[in-house]
Chain A
Amino acid sequence: MTFVHQEVWHWQIATYLFLGGLGGATFAISALIHLFEGCDRKMLSVAVMSSIGFLVLGTVFLLADMLQPLKAIYALTNPRSWIFWGVIFINFYFVSAIAYVIPLLEVWPKINPYVQKIPRGILDLLERFNKLAALTGSAAGFLVAIYTGLLISAAPAISFWNTPALPLLFVISGFSTGAAFLLLLSTFSKNEESWKIIAKLEELDAMLIVTELIILGAYFNFALFLPTGARESAQVLFHSPLFIIGFFIFGLIVPLAIETYGIFFAKHTKKSGHLLVIASVMVLLGGYLLRYYVLKAGLFQFPW
């Protein structure tokens, strides 16, 4: 039995997986905040436009890694493939996100004239079903985020990936990066109201990081349990300083400590504002490192 590193999916796909999780989660969290908390439309439109941007950029990275990107439409052929479902989820996401964001763009004086060029009937319809679009969009965002994990878990001979823990880890990490991005965005807002949202986001991100730590614990416990490729992969990660220090320490533990300080000691005051910016950037970098290293540590278990 030999273990061989997968040499097929590299940083381009890691970037796609990261941006997919980030874009899907950013939209899902923004839409849910809108539904349950209310939110200022300027912030919301920036958040949703950025999430669309992340997904567009992610798709560009995916296409750039293909041998025949111009034939990508064929990817809607085989429903047994996770990529098929990924395409469905991403398109469902784009439709929901665009339908959702158009009425929100009316608050921008420079963009509003362009929005007004859309027939009034359609605009009224979009406005009326804005909350429905938020709801379907958050479902689409969740599906896009979890799909990034499902895609790579469909490899029977890479036992480190071929586990239900991986989609779970990716979706939680995706939502953590989404919350971190929104936190980062909110700290730049001059609107006093946004500090209320920051408090929520800070708590959400801290909870997501704790959940991520629990899943990571279970995941590595499973990986180290049997003498398979999964154990070898876990060993590879344990011997990667950038994974341990970059992802685990600076991507999870330090931001969690900062957010804990913000929640319990700074009581969500602006005192912890600068620290929050640092924590958010760290979570985002950590999210990327997680995907990069999980792909890098994918080991085939060959019988020779």
Chain B
Amino acid sequence: MARYGMVMDMRTCVGCQACMAACTAENQTPFWNGKFRTHVEDKAQGTFPDVRRVLLPRLCMHCENTPCLSACPTGATFMTEDGIVKVNYDRCIGCYACCIACPYDARYAYDREDVNKEEELYGKFTSHKQPHVDKCTFCDHRVSEGREPACVSTCPTNTRIFGDLDDPNSEVHKLATSGKAQALNQSLGTSPKVYYIPS
């Protein structure tokens, strides 16, 4: 079985936010309320005149040791055999325990207002038919067809590299084990499967 993961090469991110747009279109996330499955943080670091702009694309880290999965009382949050953390919308009661447990702010509520708005926008092609807590799925519906997640295939600068972390021939494996890439907030012990090569 594959163990999917992602490497973010921060040396190339230009903050174009194409990943956010691609994800929104692919997964019908409620952009109208500023809710995204992936988000590009855009921060200024330092004080004038020594100021630097820092960009940080983030999404669900699909942790191996998942605090959200432990926090979910209904078993709605689960991990697939490929290591992808998903939410079963039918089982989610929306208690927000997973949102509180997630150290990466990767989850948001797809509430009643969002469901109604989505129906208005997408008609019968809606993918979120009821309120639930939503998050990135590494576009597993695309991955199962042999395609890359929408954010990865859209990124114009190849910042996002997706693949099987256990496959020694994959680029993502080579980069993740190169020593250059680091996961965020490692001290929490959640073992994220998204790695960052600093700029």
Contacts and interface: CB of A to CB of B under 8 A. Distances in A.
Contacts of A80: 69-70
Interface stretch (B11-19, B126-134, B158-166): B126-134
Interface stretch (A61-69, A103-111, A266-274): A61-69
Contacts of B70: 78, 80-81, 154
Contact of A78 (B74, B104, B132, B184): B74
Interface residues of B, number: 41
Interface string A281-304: 000000000000000001011111
Contact of B94 (A9, A68, A154, A158): A68
B185 A78 contact: no
Across chains A and B, which 10 residue pairs bring their CB atoms closest together, nearest first?
Answer: A67-B94, A157-B103, A83-B73, A74-B74, A67-B131, A81-B73, A77-B75, A75-B73, A303-B184, A80-B70
A275 interface: no
Interface string B90-124: 01111111011111110001111000000000000
Interface in A124-150: none
Pick from B75, B100, B133, B185 the residue with the most CB of A within 10 Å. B100
Contacts of B74: 71, 74-75, 77-78
Interface of A: 2, 4, 6, 8-9, 62, 65-69, 71-72, 74-78, 80-84, 87, 151-152, 154-158, 298, 300-304
A20 to B, nearest CB: 14
16 contacts: A67-B92, A67-B109, A67-B110, A67-B132, A68-B132, A74-B75, A74-B76, A75-B74, A76-B73, A77-B73, A78-B73, A80-B69, A87-B73, A156-B189, A157-B104, A302-B104
A273 B112 CA distance: 50
A301 to B, nearest CB: 8
Nearest to A85: B73
B53 interface: no
A157 B97 contact: no
Nearest to A67: B94
B188 A81 contact: no
A25 to B, nearest CB: 23
B93 A74 contact: yes
Contact of A9 (B93, B100, B188): B100
A163 to B, nearest CB: 14
A68 B73 contact: no
A81 B71 contact: yes
B105 A75 contact: no
Interface of B: 41, 43, 54, 56, 58, 67, 69-76, 91-97, 99-105, 109-112, 130-133, 184-185, 188-190
Contact of B130 (A68, A77, A78): A68
Contacts of B110: 67
B14 to A, nearest CB: 17
A227 to B, nearest CB: 13
Given A71-B92, A82-B97, A303-B184, 6 more contacts: A67-B112, A68-B94, A68-B131, A78-B70, A154-B97, A156-B190
Contacts of B96: 8-9, 65
A85 to B, nearest CB: 9
B97 A83 contact: yes
Pick from B69, B133, B188 the residue with the most CB of A within 10 Å. B188
Given A67-B133, A302-B105, A82 B100 contact: no
Given A9-B100, A77-B74, A66 B94 contact: yes
A141 to B, nearest CB: 21
Contacts of A76: 73
A303 B54 CA distance: 12
Contacts of B188: 156-157
A303 B70 CA distance: 22
